[in-house]
């Protein structure tokens, strides 16, 4: 089974999970008190997930400054491929789609291009800027 070909978490049900582990995964999101999550994303809308919180410091240095925080989710991660599944949402049906973890090399490469990172659309306004903790 090639993890890159998985369409949903349900495709893993009843399979050997050698090479997979449950670990925390980190992302940067706007710190607001509304319903919803507004994460930092790539230009294609993909959420920026990393396994080392410190990598988000590089993203923070290249994204529009807004009030933000570092959040984490437990994921079922396949380290070799970078494929993971968020385990903190309702998953009874197994229809959770895969997410992709960015490596340090990928983050460093993206930081070389201006405008690689943006906030998910939905909230306007700025408020005050708070540096999230990346440690």
Is the pLDDT assigned to residue 128 strictly greater than 50? no
- Taking CB atoms within 8 Å and a gap of at least 24, the contacts of 94-97 are 94/8, 94/9, 94/10, 94/11, 94/12, 94/13, 95/8, 95/9, 95/10, 96/8, 96/9, 96/10, 97/7, 97/8, 97/9
CB 84 within 8 A of CB 74: no
Is the pLDDT assigned to residue 123 strictly greater than 60? no
Residue at token pair 């973890």: 101
Q: What is the pLDDT of residues 50-97, one digit of tens each?
A: 999 999 999 999 999 999 999 999 999 999 999 999 888 765 667 888
Q: What is the pLDDT of residue 64?
A: 93
Question: Token pair for residue 128?
Answer: 């005050």
DSSP string, 32-74: -SSSS--BEEETTS-B-BBSSGGGHHHHHTTS---SEEEEEEE
Q: Which of 95, 92, 72 is closest to 9 using CA atoms?
A: 95
Q: What is the pLDDT of residues 45-59, one digit of tens each?
A: 999 999 999 999 999
For the full predicted model, state whether its pTM sits above 0.85: no
């Amino acid at each position: 089974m090639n993890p890159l070909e998985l369409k949903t978490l349900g495709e893993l049900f009843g399979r050997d999970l050698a090479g997979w582990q449950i670990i925390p995964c980190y992302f940067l999101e706007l710190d607001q008190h509304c319903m919803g999550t507004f994460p930092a994303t790539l230009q294609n809308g993909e959420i920026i997930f990393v396994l080392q919180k410190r990598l988000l410091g590089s993203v923070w240095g290249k994204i529009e400054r807004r009030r933000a925080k570092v959040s984490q989710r437990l994921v079922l991660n396949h380290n070799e491929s970078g494929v993971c599944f968020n385990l903190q949402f309702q998953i009874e049906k197994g229809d959770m789609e895969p997410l992709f973890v960015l490596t340090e090399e990928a983050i460093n490469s993206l930081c070389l291009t201006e405008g690689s990172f943006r906030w998910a659309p939905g909230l306007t306004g700025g408020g005050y800027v708070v540096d999230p903790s990346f440690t």
